[in-house]
Amino acid sequence: MTKNIMVQGTASSVGKSILTAALCRIFKEDGMKVAPFKSQNMALNSFITKDGGEMGRAQVVQAEACGLEPSVLMNPVLLKPSTDTKAQVIINGKVHSNKSAVEYHAFKPEVRQLVKEAYDKLAQGMDVIVLEGAGSPAEINLRDNDIVNMGMAEMVDAPVILVGDIDRGGVFASIVGTIQLLSEDERKRVKGVIINKFRGDVEILKPGLKQLEDITGIPVIGVIPHMRIMLEDEDSVSERLERRERTGEIDICVIKTPRMSNYTDFDVFELFPDVSLRYAAAVDEIGDPDILILPGSKNTIEDLSFMKASGMNMLITMLHQNGKAIVGICGGFQMLGEKIEDPYGVEGQEGVSTYGLGLTEMRTVMAREKVTTQVKGKITNASNLLEGLEGFDIEGYEIHMGQSTGVDEKDTITMTENGAGGISYPNLMGTYIHGIFDNTEFTRQFLNNIRKKKGLEPVETDKSFREHKEQEFAKLAAETRKNLNMEKIYEILEGK
């Protein structure tokens, strides 16, 4: 029979996702067949599986920790906010509808059975399922029809580990308050507490841990130190997005728009010692980068309007004219063109049409059907920023609602088996392909082209992104083992 354990938190961003990944890797190292499961994820960082299903990136990282191919069964419900009041609802990897928070809450009873079916299918043949909650189980206004925290734990009879973040302060109050707001049956389900992101000497913390156990009657089973683990994070709460430093020879600036999605496309740049990666949310933060990246967007027209209102569009044009490299990925690629049209109201009001940045003659029309597919192929017509990459194998995935036309054939770079994958003009590159930079050989040549423009010597890379992530998983598992009572974890798995 498949065993399970669930990681819940006192709040968002306390480290649930990374600790779930840590447990997944530990169980794998211990010879168990393990899989992650998060019934409902709200995220703009998503991934496309081999069969074209869309799921949250956090569960993809957890699947990699398990040594498994990602499956939408691991994340059957994905909510992608498109405005402040509505989100696109994706069920079992496919777009279902757009709903407000009130509409979705009323829809949850219908989703409940779908979630249970996904869990049961995933559990077949597995030794352990590590579940992850969302936000906090103490959000009492959402307790009715809950399918992601205690409601999910009850559905599959999972014991719960509660995680609190000491780095943000108030960890004891948050843990006690969370437990006090649970019902008696829910409190019985919590079998252990983990203090996460601790800095300092744990001996100083021990008196507080003893008092916490006396107050709650629940054992503290681990104090996990603050770790710098370079794995993909969950959405815009990431500390990565606050970086402003410029220490490398190549300065890469990513525009941080309100509806930015899939910023994990750029995590790979952290592997390159000659690169400084930073994010800019205002025009005066952009400066004079060597590479300016327009990222993916859940609402391209809204993010484009944000850029125009802030004056970023004029600065981008000036940087391009001054020979700086401008790169657009997915929604950012669409923004590079002359015009974006939304005849069906995919991103908002029907019939909206807006001018793009005008760096190409491309025209994009939003379509009703979303493109969700993995892609692979070879680069042809490589020039400009992609010099030296002719015939290079690349792969990634596409997630977009729009279709783009009007690009001159001589400027097209064919990057997929199905046709044009992007454009390469002087100082300009655009593509629909997410994950294109994950191939470090491709990215190293791309960066060396920038180095050449700056009069710098080319450099080589010594490891792949995959090798890097395996090293990070090993480090994560080792550090977590050292600071977590694994004997107690296994007792909880056994129902003791």
CATH number of the domain encompassing residue 421? 3.40.50.880
* pLDDT at residue 411, as a whole number: 47
Residues 163 and 57 in one domain: yes
Rounded Cα gap, residues 321 and 144, in angstroms: 56
Which pairing describes strands 54-56 and 94-100: parallel, antiparallel, or unpaired? unpaired
Closest-CA residue to 222 (of 426, 26, 82): 26
Strand, helix or coil for residue 186: helix
Task: Classify residue 245: in a domain, yes or no.
Answer: no
Residues 111 and 158 in one domain: yes
Residues 282 and 341 in one domain: yes
Residues 184 and 305 in one domain: no
Strand, helix or coil for residue 374: strand
| Contact criterion met (CB below 8 Å) for 148 and 36 | no
Residues 302 and 208 in one domain: no
Per the residue annotation, which of 66, 253, 400, 434 is the catalytic one?
Answer: 434
DSSP per position, 88-133: EEEETTEEEEEEEHHHHHHHHHHHHHHHHHHHHHHHTT-SEEEEE-
Residue given tokens 């609602």 in the structure block:
401
| Contact criterion met (CB below 8 Å) for 430 and 332 | yes
Residues 484 and 372 in one domain: no
And the tokens for 88? 């696109």
Residues 150 and 31 in one domain: yes
Residues 92 and 128 in one domain: yes
Rounded Cα gap, residues 74 and 56, in angstroms: 9
Sequence-distant (6+) residues with CB within 8 A of 144 are: none
* pLDDT at residue 418, as a whole number: 42
For residue 213, give its domain range: 3-231+470-493
| Contact criterion met (CB below 8 Å) for 56 and 46 | yes
And the tokens for 127? 């030794």
Rounded Cα gap, residues 357 and 313, in angstroms: 6
And the tokens for 465? 């992104």
Please compute, for residue 144, the number of CA atoms within 13 A of its CA located in the half-sphere on the CB side: 6
Rounded Cα gap, residues 154 and 133, in angstroms: 12
| Contact criterion met (CB below 8 Å) for 453 and 289 | no
Rounded Cα gap, residues 201 and 223, in angstroms: 11
Task: Classify residue 262: in a domain, yes or no.
Answer: yes
Residue 139: exposure state from Cβ atoms within 10 A (0-12, 13-18, ≥19): middle
- Provide block-wise average pLDDT over 10 residues at a time, the chain (496 residues): 96 94 98 98 91 95 97 97 86 93 90 96 97 94 91 97 95 97 96 96 94 97 92 60 72 95 91 93 95 95 95 96 95 94 88 92 90 84 84 88 73 48 81 91 94 94 86 96 97 91
Rounded Cα gap, residues 295 and 328, in angstroms: 6
* Residue 112, phi then psi, degrees to nearest 5: -55, -45
Residues 192 and 275 in one domain: no
Strand, helix or coil for residue 117: helix
96 is catalytic: no
Backbone dihedral region of 145: left (phi > 0), alpha (psi from -120 to 50 degrees) or beta?
Answer: left
Rounded Cα gap, residues 474 and 467, in angstroms: 11
* pLDDT at residue 142, as a whole number: 84
253 is catalytic: no
CATH number of the domain encompassing residue 227? 3.40.50.300
Residues 263 and 218 in one domain: no
Closest-CA residue to 165 (of 249, 217, 224): 224
| Contact criterion met (CB below 8 Å) for 411 and 424 | yes
Rounded Cα gap, residues 148 and 40, in angstroms: 6
- Direct distance between the N- and C-terminal alpha carbons of the chain, in angstroms, rounded to an integer: 16
Per the residue annotation, which of 105, 330, 400, 468 is the catalytic one?
Answer: 330
Residues 297 and 430 in one domain: yes
The total number of structural domains in the chain stands at 2
And the tokens for 198? 């601790």
Handedness of CA 341, 342, 344, 349 (dihedral sign): negative
Task: Classify residue 416: in a domain, yes or no.
Answer: yes
Rounded Cα gap, residues 7 and 19, in angstroms: 8
* pLDDT at residue 413, as a whole number: 53
Residue 237: exposure state from Cβ atoms within 10 A (0-12, 13-18, ≥19): exposed
Residues 187 and 318 in one domain: no
Closest-CA residue to 268 (of 421, 458, 468, 57): 468
